[in-house]
Amino acid sequence: MSVGTLYVVATPLGHLGDLSPRATATLRAVDTVAAEDTRRTRHLLSAIDAHPRVVSYHAHSAPRRRDELVALLAGGADVALATDAGTPGISDPGADLVRAARAAGATIVPVPGPSAVATALSAAGLPSDRYLFVGFLPRKGSARRLFLERAAGEPWSIVFFEAPGRLAELLEDLAAHCGGDRSAVVAREMTKLHEDFRSGTLAELRDHYVAAPPRGEVTLVVAGTGDAGERAEPAPDADEVAALIRSRLAAGDSRKDVVRAVATRFGLPRNDAYRWVVMSS
């Protein structure tokens, strides 16, 4: 018996017209839909006259639910993974199911479509040729502080998800770390009836949402240092970086030492230096 296919299906952020014909056909054809929010997914399925079995699969699902879905795939059934809105695997447990399904021999087929990250960036008017997506920040403590400190020095635009009731607090923390004059855009209820994009400085947006608490889904785009009056460091010369990596590896340095040398020489974050070493070795 052949193993089934796991379809990773992007669904609308709000406007039903954003569901692609391919996604519609997939949801009508599969045996089972694993849904982050079964109520929202059943409403969507009803609207397109699709009748698969719907099971709950979300961040708090027990591991056995993932195993049940993998068992369905192993038995030859086709399964669609759908988040409550947008593309699965972004700030939800979709990656775990994809990884387990692939390990079981299932074919993974993405059915692309709406994404809150791409949608917010497209309408924010901030640089988006490169960006950092951080999703929901930790609620408190050193983990939250580390993300805020990273945001303060990031040269690229930064995309956050946040619950509406905590948006003012996030804007306050970002203003404290990045400076209140940093540009930002709050995207709210994208593609829905009350869609709203509000731009301003972090301080202006904080004051607005303290006075008028928002409702609905929120995505926040914050300008990087290059768009906030500070000049971002130019990208290093690729030939120079590659030459340094080759010479250090040829001299017998470990990959860890080469990463450190590249980061120090060219002023790169350690993760970026690691990517250079991997690509050049």
What is the Cα–Cα distance from 174 to 275, expressed in whole angstroms? Answer: 28
What is the domain class of 5-114 according to CATH?
alpha beta
Q: pLDDT by residue for the chain (281 residues), tens digit each?
A: 699 999 999 999 999 999 999 999 999 999 999 999 999 999 999 999 999 999 999 989 999 999 999 999 999 999 999 998 999 988 788 899 999 999 999 999 999 999 999 999 999 999 998 999 999 999 989 899 989 998 998 999 999 999 999 999 999 999 999 999 999 999 999 999 999 999 999 999 999 999 999 999 999 999 999 744 444 456 678 888 888 888 888 888 888 888 888 888 887 877 788 878 887 76
How high is the pLDDT of residue 281? 65
CATH number of 117-227: 3.30.950.10
* Residue 71 CA: distances (Å) to CA of 41, 75, 98, 193: 22, 6, 13, 40
Q: Does the predicted TM-score (pTM) go above 0.85?
A: no
**Alpha-carbon dihedral angle through residues 124, 128, 133, 138, given to the nearest 10 degrees:** -50
Instruction: Look at residue 228 in the predicted model and tell me its pLDDT.
Output: 40
Tell me, what's the pLDDT at 230? 43
Angle between helices 270-280 and 255-266 (to 10 degrees): 120
CB 180 within 8 A of CB 208: no
Query: In the chain, what are the domain boundaries?
Result: 5-114, 117-227, 238-280
